[in-house]
Amino acid sequence: MANVATVIETQKSLESALMHRMKEFEDKLKSSSSNKDKVPQLEEEFKSFKEIVWSVVSLLRQQINEVLRTVDQLESRHRSKHLLFCGVPEEPNEDLKTAVTTLLRKHLGIREIEPSSIKLCHLLGAPAVGRSRPVVFRFFNSNLRATVWKLKTKLKGSSLVLKEFLTKPREAVFHAAPSHFGIPNVWSADGNIFVKTPDGHRLRVVCSDELDTIVRQYPSLRLLLVKHQLYLVRCRQDQDVL
């Protein structure tokens, strides 16, 4: 990810330099307006330069977006093997694997889960007063992970929550989509975000650009409800007039 960040910084620096050069060119064009013989030539040169700048910038953005998408896919493939367990109380010198498996056995009823079932287990983030940190863990057996994920609804009503260990771009989509499509119509599976649209289609969404596209395609359910209510009010007003 450090290399990707370097590429992005390089792109920003290049864009800034090109924009500065274009501004200088534009100022030169304005200052030369008194010399009518040079103006047409400068205008043509500026137009050509501007087209080159935008083509270079567009190409850079496209290439960086492709790099970011590839990195996100690779990271998501790795993270999909893990789960995020939120609400696990933190105790000093506690065996985290034992704490996790004890809670899973108690709440999900999966008796075959043992501390030895867990390949990796650690707290995520820095300690904070008043709240416990999420636990990232991974089973040796992928089938056990699937079983735990399937039974996660049994945690409802408790302070515990099982989530997928999503990448930052997909986490952003997962939190943004419900405000438009509603909480019941957005879920994650195997590192992917799925949205159920008003016409019943289930769409896979993995980045903000894809979410923006389907948001434009499907008006908000709230907006449709408000429009319907306004329509009913107008109908009543028309009936009162009659």
Instruction: Give yes or no for residue 17 having a pLDDT over 70.
Output: yes
- Between 83 and 3, the higher pLDDT residue: 83
pLDDT for position 87: 92
The amino acid at residue 121 is C
Instruction: Give the pTM.
Output: 0.68
Task: Tell me the C-alpha distance between 114 and 71, whole Å.
Answer: 33
- Whether pLDDT at 152 is above 70: yes
Q: Is the pLDDT of residue 35 over 70?
A: no
The pLDDT value given to residue 231: 61
Q: For residue 218, what pLDDT is reported?
A: 85
pLDDT tens, position by position, 139-150: 999 999 999 999
Q: Which CATH architecture has domain 83-164?
A: 2-Layer Sandwich (3.30)
Measure the CA–CA gap between 137 and 130, rounded to whole angstroms: 22
Contacts of 144 (CB under 8 A, 6+ apart): 110, 112, 113, 117
Across the range 174-189, mean pLDDT stands at 91
pLDDT tens digits, one per residue of 168-178? 999 999 999 99
The mean pLDDT value of the chain amounts to 83
DSSP string, the chain: -HHHHHHHHHHHHHHHHHHHHHHHHHHHHHHTTT-TTTHHHHHHHHHHHHHHHHHHHHHHHHHHHHHHHHHHHHHHHHHTT-EEEE-PPP-TT--HHHHHHHHHHHHH--TT--GGGEEEEEE-S--BTTBPPPEEEEES-HHHHHHHHHTGGGGTTSS-EEEE---HHHHHHHHHTHHHH-GGGEEEETTEEEEE-TTS-EEEE-SHHHHHHHHHHS--HHHHHHHHHHHHHHHHHHHHH-
Residue 143: per-residue pLDDT: 93
Closest CA to 64 of 18, 22, 6: 6
